[in-house]
Amino acid sequence: MAPEPDNLCCPGLADPVLSEAGAEELAQALKALADPVRLRLVHIVASAGEACACDLPALVDRSQPTVSHHLSTLVKAGILGREQRGKWAWFWVEADQLSAVREALTLS
Amino acid sequence: MAPEPDNLCCPGLADPVLSEAGAEELAQALKALADPVRLRLVHIVASAGEACACDLPALVDRSQPTVSHHLSTLVKAGILGREQRGKWAWFWVEADQLSAVREALTLS
DNA sequence: TTCTTGTATCGATGTTTGTCGATACGATAA
DNA sequence: TTATCGTATCGACAAACATCGATACAAGAA
């Protein structure tokens, strides 16, 4: 396959541009965004500034448990913030985290 | 759950910011990027400008079929370009597609 | 406290996905 | 042509995931 273990055919190919750990972390954030329902949830919340969970199942046409699971995924990934207000759960977009993902996708 | 079918508790929540089809398409591109091995492949290729497939299995520590499968996923998503040169397959980053993904992640 | 209601968790299921060994395809070399 | 070698495809398998119904939890209302 390759000519030699450490005599690569392409120059500059040995530099660890993106570490294994860094790739794992970025992939985790991208995975949270790489679902059509979650993308729509993020856009809906972003366009409203804030949104309470009560409206979201109807807007994305999914069951309440499914939406809850997706929201929890997005919160865990740091893309959405969450706050309980009375009996309602409110969500907003963590713009910084989204920017970080965007910038991590900027290659040299 | 929600107060009324079309009397939402949050203003501006009914606008279809991101269509279902648009979400599906963007999710597809993000899914192609949302894997640590594929992310490292993209970064390796980007840092070298071009890379032939021969070196990549060793650099990402995966078998040749696995790397071939990942490269094919990235090419299908439009993130990598591919050209056969003699018996070697060469890859490069399609910067435009990557920029498009980045921009699609910019909310308002 | 008891009742009501919004949200999260549990359990199950069908689908997708990352991975590899074996094998087929393709292009150069002999 | 035949042999060699780089790459893609096939088949299989385990792990991850999206989804939902049922149920548990939590917070206000009565």
Q: Which chain B residue's Cα is nearest to A10?
A: B51
Give residue-wise pLDDT tens across range A30-79. Answer: 999 999 999 999 999 999 999 999 999 999 999 999 999 999 999 999 99
CA B57 from centre of chain? 20
Strand C-proximal protein residues, Cβ less than 7 Å? A 52-54, 64-65, 68-69, 71-72, 82, 87-89; B 1, 3, 31, 34-35, 37, 62-66, 69-70, 73, 84, 86-87
> What's the confidence (pLDDT) of residue B88?
98
Taking the domains of chain A in order of start, what are their residue ranges? Answer: 36-104
Q: Domain A36-104 is in which class?
A: mainly alpha
Nearest CB to B98 within list A8, A57, A107? A107
Tell me if A105 and B106 make a contact (CB, 8 A cut-off): no
Please list the residues that pair with B80 across neighbouring strands.
B93
> What's the confidence (pLDDT) of residue A17?
74
> What's the confidence (pLDDT) of residue A13?
59
In chain B (108 residues long), the average pLDDT of successive 10-residue segments reads 48 69 96 98 97 98 98 98 97 97 92
Query: What is the band of A5 on the pLDDT scale with cuts at 50, 70, 90?
Result: very low
Which of these CATH numbers, 1.20.120.10, 1.10.287.110, 1.10.10.10, 1.20.120.1200, describes B22-104? Answer: 1.10.10.10
Q: A55: which DSSP letter?
A: G
Compute CA distances A93 → A7, A23, B13, whole Å.
47, 23, 14
> What's the confidence (pLDDT) of residue B16?
59
Range B85-88 contact pairs with CB under 8 angstroms and sequence separation of 24 or more = B85/B52, B88/B52, B88/B53, B88/B54
Give residue-wise pLDDT tens across range A8-18. Answer: 555 555 555 79
